[in-house]
């Protein structure tokens, strides 16, 4: 006895046709659509160099006092009113006839408190920078 192969082949072809018709062809997985930039590839001519930040370092001096220093400048202000006037001297703003400084009013000012400095002193340094008409004032993480 032998099985009828023609009937078996018919069934296999019917199953093959069924799977081809019902198959759902989807796009490949892992293919990401991306929008590539348009242009000539020439570098932009109006790129400005990054601005150098003006760093104000606050370090503890005793329990309630702090030392103020401007990084890169030997002159250390004795208090926050002197810090404000020193920040005005470091500013370059031709509209207000301030032409001796190197920092514009929108230059970044970074206040860097060390561990143990009271937040009152950090707020006073912020207020001194605002009084000096700086507009881009940031706070650095407390250094240990």
Q: Where do the domains of the chain lie?
A: 64-139
Torsion, Cα 13 14 18 20, to 10 degrees, reads 20
Helix pair angle (119-131, 80-89), 10° resolution: 40
pLDDT digit string, tens, across residues 98-135: 667 778 888 889 999 998 888 899 999 999 999 988 88
pLDDT digit string, tens, across residues 26-85: 766 666 566 666 777 666 666 565 678 889 999 998 888 999 999 888 888 989 999 998
Whether the CB-CB separation of 95 and 106 falls below 8 Å is answered with no
pTM exceeding the 0.85 threshold for the entire prediction: no
Helices (H), the chain: 5-22, 80-89, 119-131
- 137: pLDDT strictly greater than 70: yes
């Amino acid at each position: 006895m032998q099985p009828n192969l023609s009937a078996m082949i018919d069934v296999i072809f019917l199953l093959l046709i069924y799977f081809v018709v019902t198959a759902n062809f989807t796009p490949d997985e892992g293919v990401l659509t991306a929008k590539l930039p348009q242009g000539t590839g020439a570098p932009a001519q109006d790129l400005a160099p990054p601005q150098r930040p003006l760093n104000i370092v606050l370090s503890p001096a005793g329990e309630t006092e702090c030392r103020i220093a401007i990084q890169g400048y030997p002159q250390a202000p004795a208090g926050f009113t002197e810090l404000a006037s020193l920040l005005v001297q470091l500013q370059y703003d031709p509209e207000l006839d301030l032409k001796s400084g190197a920092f514009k009013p929108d230059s970044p000012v970074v206040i860097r408190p060390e561990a143990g400095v009271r937040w009152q002193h950090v707020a006073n340094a912020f207020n001194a920078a605002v009084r000096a008409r700086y507009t881009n004032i940031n706070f650095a993480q407390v250094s240990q």
